[in-house]
């Protein structure tokens, strides 16, 4: 089996890039057949996540989906999750909470840690909770696409994730922004309305602004801080 420990020796599946799904559905089928309950989908409920949820529901309607609830997300994001729960009632959507309440974080680290030390805030409210979720998992699914940013340009379908000591599976690496939206539109899927207001990438409310360049769809995240990732992907 392809695992973190056997990544260099194990055979990595060969996936055909079909015209409709660009390999995504085949990747998901192989992953759920192989890892079964040892596979976790960490979903942010952005537009890529909506596509993946619909594809996953075709394969495993009762799949487990984990949302890292920092308690700092936009209300529109929480509204989107409720819509998804209504459309896919069999999915097991878990709202994973950090160990520290916001008031406890403020007491220990000071007010507005997302401004004074955003990396530490992400560690407490995202990275540590995902570590907990993946402690018993062999692999996890992510909605990364190569087109999203230079730091994601070399992502493969199956990746050795040293941070979480797991296999990170990225079914949408060859999908373009147009592919994603075409799929959502053709299937009439619910999505976060902030996407219609200039937010191509949506994270916590405190650290997300509308994108200011079409060349980098994540340019609205942690603006003017030099930070480009929350830490989950590098």
The residue assigned the tokens 């996936």 is: 15
Q: How many angstroms separate the CA atoms of 46 and 48, rounded?
A: 6
Kindly provide the residue ranges of all beta strands, DSSP E only, lying in the chain, ordered along the sequence: 39-42, 64-68, 92-96, 139-141, 158-161, 166-169
Nearest 10 degrees: CA dihedral of 54, 56, 58, 64?
A: -110
Long-range contacts of 199-202 (CB under 8 A, 24+ apart): 200/47, 201/46, 201/148, 202/44, 202/46, 202/74, 202/76, 202/77
Backbone angles phi, psi at 159, to 5 degrees: -130, 145
- Asked if 138 and 34 touch (Cβ cutoff 8 Å), the reply is no
CB-based contacts of 14, cutoff 8 Å, min separation 6: none
Active-site residue, 230 included? yes
DSSP characters for 170-218? -TTTT--HHHHHHHHHHTT----GGGGGT-SS--BGGGB---S-TT-TT
Q: How many angstroms separate the CA atoms of 98 and 68, rounded?
A: 8
Catalytic residue among 43, 204, 207, 230: 230
| Residues with active-site annotation | 230
């Amino acid at each position: 089996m392809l695992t973190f420990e056997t990544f260099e020796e194990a055979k990595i599946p060969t996936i055909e890039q079909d015209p409709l799904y660009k390999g995504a559905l085949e990747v998901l089928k192989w992953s759920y057949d192989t890892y079964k309950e040892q596979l976790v989908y960490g979903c942010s409920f952005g537009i890529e996540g909506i596509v993946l949820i619909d594809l996953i529901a075709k394969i495993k309607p009762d799949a487990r989906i984990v949302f890292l609830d920092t308690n700092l997300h936009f209300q529109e994001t929480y509204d989107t999750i409720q819509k998804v729960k209504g459309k896919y009632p069999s999915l097991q959507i878990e709202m994973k909470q950090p160990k520290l309440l916001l008031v406890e974080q403020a007491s220990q680290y000071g007010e507005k840690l997302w401004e004074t030390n955003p990396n530490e805030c992400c560690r407490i409210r995202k990275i540590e909770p995902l570590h907990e979720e993946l402690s018993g998992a062999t692999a996890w699914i992510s909605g990364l696409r190569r087109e999203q940013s230079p730091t994601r340009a070399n992502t493969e379908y199956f990746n050795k994730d040293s941070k979480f000591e797991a296999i990170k599976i990225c079914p949408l690496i060859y999908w373009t922004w147009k592919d994603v939206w075409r799929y959502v539109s053709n299937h009439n899927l619910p999505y976060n309305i902030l996407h219609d207001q200039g937010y191509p990438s949506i994270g916590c409310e405190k650290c997300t602004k509308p994108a200011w360049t079409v060349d980098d769809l994540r340019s609205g995240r942690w603006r003017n801080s030099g930070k480009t990732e929350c830490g989950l992907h590098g």
